[in-house]
Structure 1
Amino acid sequence: MKRRLGMAVVALLAALVAGNAEGQDVTSGPWVMQSSGSSAGLRGIHAVGGGVAWASGSDGTVLRTEDSGFVWQSCAMPPGAEKLDFRGIWAWDADTAIVMSSGPGDLSRLYKTTDGCSHWTLLYTNPDKDGFWDSISFEESDGQYGTMLGDPVGGAFTVLRTTDGGSHWTRVKSTSSPGLAADASKIGAFAASNSALVFAAQVLNSVDNENFIYWFAAGGTTGAFIFRGQSECDPQTYHKDPEHCSVRWKVTPDRVPLSSGKSSSGAFSIAVLDGDETIHHAVVVGGDYNDPTERSGTAAYWDEAGRRWIAATTPPGGYRSAVQILPNSGTVEDYSHLVWISAGPNGSDISYDGGKTWSPLDNGNWNALSLPWIVGPKGRIAKLDEGRLKRP
């Protein structure tokens, strides 16, 4: 949200600096601190695999590692990005990445590198003077198809689609009711960790890889919500006219039992488990960033059988801005035993039962996850040592 997240950084740092000052990092937890060489507030992180990861943050900062974090390289700054806040980053390999800045109007931009961040090309600038971008996600298949989420403009959430790797974007329309309709003064998404938007699944029996389901999280004075969106076309129609069907969505909002009623509260991050073209489980986290130590209303999980959201019985230790499934921690066939990790300004937590109950991992100050990495303010980067996890 445009008027809230800038305030969020100030509020969180002011509230937590006393208990999370530099030099007081928890080393007994599962996180191994790494040297980023930066003092930027980091909110973007994307682990590619093979020891490659990219991170992004305030003041036009982009970082990259090719050796599992032994060395984090400071990338060349994208042109004109000195004052930009890069809240999201998406990478495909050690050479190719897109970075997204979040800010009012034309301070929301996309840049792309194809040479390992030595040079950047400005791809797209927000054309809406009242707009504010929150999250970006690509389908993993070939890197061409992706979606971007922004706060409501003109009475509807901004959802944009690309089919050419981010060079061109088309606004999504919804014919369902209420669909994407939203009052920007009452509801919006949060650019807290680039995980408010998630590619949830392929459409069952789809004949096109790009026929998709996306979910996104939102909050505000009207409540906390997860919006489920997918093409309004059936698979056969999509195959005949993918250009039209890609940007015509049916969207269903679901109210979630998280902290709500304030502009600073709601759903901030969502992770979805899919397999065999079916959504099996999901977890959403959030809360109130102005009350970061309040535990109630900070996590919920999706019950696919009942198709409803249920509040965690033992929630995380406070407001959480990010949640993710630990890769390779389980299988779709045995998804109830997957490991879920959440993070926020007063620590990280772990759940072994699908988000029903959470246990603390540490009390560090964190913003975003792309496991095994976690990032936070003042250049904080750490890597998960799975050997330190205390499994039940």
Structure 2
Amino acid sequence: MSSWRFMQTIPSSLIGIDVVNRDVVWASGGFDGPGELGSPGLVVRTLDRGGSWENVTPPDAGRLTFRDVYAFDRDQVLALASGVLQGSRIYRTVNGGQDWKLVFENWEADAFYNGIAFFDAVNGIAMSDPVQGTFRILITDDGGWTWKVAPTKGMPDALPDEFGRATGTCLVTKGPHDAWFGTGSKDANGRVFHTGDRGRTWSVADTPIPGDPEFGIASLAFWDTRHGLALGGGDPSSNKPSVAARTTNGGRTWKRVRSLAGFRINMAVDPSRRDTAVAVGMSGSDITANGGRSWRWFDQNDLRGVSCTEDACWAVGKDLKAAELLR
């Protein structure tokens, strides 16, 4: 039976997380939402399986929220920060956060970056809300040292009021060429965009996940380039359960599967166990062992981000929480 092994971290709310291995975990957070306005951005890491955590936040981060973190190893990391008033930035370190370089800064009024992901050690992608009617994509081919805006010619038009959810896992990659991102809009079901050429061209598919002006699709996770899950819908104020949908053809079509026990904001597949995935949210965690066809609630703690490798799954959340999944 699965359960979380909790430990205390640095005081802040955490949502971004990337597991390197069982001992090395990077996480990020801080929030600029109502009730937490002005709480500082944060980047932390552990090198001893959660026994201790280092605060390695870039010194000039101000009130930015670090919404996503991508770790190449214990020392080389990219951190994506976005703030309502401060724009979006990407920082890179090669020495475990002792020094950071600002490798991208955005001040376009409509751009707001939601996630960052990599196909391999050099080729990566980042996704923003729409700018002038199309979703904005950044591409790097040098490990994140430089970024350029991808042409919009290969991107389908966005719907009115359509945007991405800034959870980190609203954008995911699998294999050397494929990436997906999920969206939400006021008057339509959530949609999933897919590229098979590292972001040069995109297709889009409707899903059965209810559209919502505030949430929509929150998280995507794939076992391989054909089999994956989308998570979204629900309502955190009433703990209305989130909805899951499954694809078996790389995101061309989606079929609704079983709803979860409550509102969930993030999800990760367990690569060590076929068809297994973990979802976390404000009112608890759920796990599936059959590709989302059924979910089992197993914890009630407030967790906001989750990441898995072959040898470990970790989650982070509000009120000092970090936890390793015992499986």
Structure-1-length-normalised TM-score: 0.75
Equivalent of residue 271 in structure 2, options 327, 332, 338 = 327
Instruction: Answer whether contact 1:104 1:131 (CA < 8 A) is retained.
Output: no
Instruction: Answer whether contact 2:137 2:149 (CA < 8 A) is retained.
Output: yes
Instruction: Answer whether contact 1:317 1:360 (CA < 8 A) is retained.
Output: yes
Q: Distance in 1 between matches of 2:98 and 2:114?
A: 25
Deviation readout 1:134-182 (Å, 9 max, x if unpaired)? 000012x3x2110001100111101110011212212222445xx3321
**Does residue 1:385 correspond to 2:326, yes or no?**
yes
> Which residues of 2 match residues 122-271 of structure 1 at below 5 A?
122-139=102-119, 141=120, 143-176=121-154, 179-183=155-159, 186-192=161-167, 194-202=168-176, 212-221=177-186, 222-231=188-197, 248-249=200-201, 251-260=202-211, 262-271=212-221
Letter in 2 for 1:39: P
Q: Distance in 2 between matches of 1:292 and 1:133?
A: 28
Give 1:106 shift. Answer: 4.5
Q: Distance in 1 between matches of 2:284 and 2:134?
A: 34
Q: Which residue of 2 aligns with 1:45?
A: 17
Q: Distance in 2 between matches of 1:107 and 1:223?
A: 28
Q: Distance in 2 between matches of 1:68 and 1:270?
A: 26
Equivalent of residue 246 in structure 2, options 281, 301, 320 = 301
Letter in 1 for 2:173: F
Instruction: Answer whether contact 2:125 2:199 (CA < 8 A) is retained.
Output: no
Label 1:375 to 1:310 Cα distance change in 2 as closer, same or farther (>3 A).
same
Q: Distance in 1 between matches of 2:172 and 2:23?
A: 23
Q: Distance in 1 between matches of 2:16 and 2:280?
A: 13
Q: Distance in 2 between matches of 1:138 and 1:149?
A: 12
Deviating 4+ runs (over 6 angstroms): none
**Does residue 1:286 correspond to 2:260, yes or no?**
no
Q: Which residue of 2 aligns with 1:317?
A: 261
Q: Distance in 1 between matches of 2:277 and 2:304?
A: 16
Q: Distance in 2 between matches of 1:368 and 1:303?
A: 25
Label 1:305 to 1:195 Cα distance change in 2 as closer, same or farther (>3 A).
closer
Instruction: Answer whether contact 1:170 1:247 (CA < 8 A) is retained.
Output: no
Q: Which residue of 1 aligns with 2:66?
A: 86
Letter in 1 for 2:268: Q
Q: Distance in 2 between matches of 1:369 and 1:349?
A: 12
More helix by share: 1
Label 1:329 to 1:165 Cα distance change in 2 as closer, same or farther (>3 A).
same
Secondary structure, counterpart of 2:20 in structure 1: strand
Instruction: Answer whether contact 2:116 2:125 (CA < 8 A) is retained.
Output: yes
Label 1:98 to 1:324 Cα distance change in 2 as closer, same or farther (>3 A).
same
Q: Distance in 2 between matches of 1:351 and 1:115?
A: 37
Q: Distance in 1 between matches of 2:88 and 2:43?
A: 16
Instruction: Answer whether contact 2:194 2:251 (CA < 8 A) is retained.
Output: no
Instruction: Answer whether contact 1:105 1:131 (CA < 8 A) is retained.
Output: no
Label 1:84 to 1:328 Cα distance change in 2 as closer, same or farther (>3 A).
same
Q: Distance in 2 between matches of 1:381 and 1:292?
A: 25
Give 1:105 shift. Answer: 6.5
Query: Larger C-alpha radius of gyration, 1 or 2?
Result: 1
Deviation readout 1:324-371 (Å, 9 max, x if unpaired)? 1113113xxxxxxx3111111111111111111111111111111013
Q: Which runs of 5+ in 1 are unaligned?
A: 1-27, 203-211, 232-245, 331-337, 387-392
Structure-2-length-normalised TM-score: 0.90
Give 1:198 shift. Answer: 0.8
Q: Please provide the CA RMSD for this pair.
A: 2.0
Deviation readout 1:8-37 (Å, 9 max, x if unpaired)? xxxxxxxxxxxxxxxxxxxx960011121x
Label 1:292 to 1:43 Cα distance change in 2 as closer, same or farther (>3 A).
farther
Give 1:247 shift. Answer: 5.6
**Does residue 1:355 correspond to 2:317, yes or no?**
no
Q: Distance in 2 between matches of 1:86 and 1:45?
A: 10
- Equivalences, count: 313
Sequence identity percentage: 29
Q: Distance in 1 between matches of 2:6 and 2:24?
A: 17
Instruction: Answer whether contact 2:181 2:192 (CA < 8 A) is retained.
Output: yes
